[in-house]
Homo-oligomer: A and B are copies of this chain.
């Protein structure tokens, strides 16, 4: 009986992500969203509740897709150390292909809203902990294989690596230059070398 939805929710979330990344949460109007997604106000409100609901769904959708991309990158090699490097390389690739300098939604809105939007702060923290854990596991594996220096603990290196990745993202947004970004990664990852 029911008329089925005339749009793909994933596509809408991706387009919303583009807008929120570019203009920020408060800089994006409902009108922008209506125009970019092509669907009407009623449909948006009916499906996502309100602007904030759409935003949160879009944020989580982005988080998941990013995590998926990362796993794909990592699957290309068996070496834990190379997996780590591939995450950094992939990030550089993303920065350089981002012609409008929209940046990373998670980082952008975390900076814009963390102080006033506890839900966003929670998503951002949770994502950070995930990433630290992933890096930490890779380091642990790499250390036991002898690929990675044992000078520091996996936990400490996990946190350090994600902090470095964020630094890279922000630096790349300010100055998307491939050579300097690669050099920063080279230095940041030199800590892993086993002499």
Partner of A27, one of B116, B157, B175, B190: B116
Q: Chain B: which residue is nearest A111 at the CB level?
A: B111
A-B interface, 8 closest residue pairs, ranked by CB to CB distance from nearest: A167-B167, A26-B26, A163-B167, A111-B111, A160-B187, A112-B112, A24-B112, A163-B171
Inter-chain contacts of A135 with B (CB < 8 A): none
Q: How far is the CB of A17 from chain B (nearest CB, A)?
A: 13
Copies of this chain: 2
SS class of chain A's interface: helix, strand, loop or mixed? helix
Give the interface residue-count category, chain A. 35 or more
Inter-chain contacts of A1 with B (CB < 8 A): none
User: CB within 8 Å of B: which residues of A?
Assistant: 21-24, 26-27, 100-103, 107-108, 110-116, 121, 124-125, 128, 151-152, 156-157, 159-160, 162-168, 170-171, 173-175, 180, 183-184, 186-188, 190-191
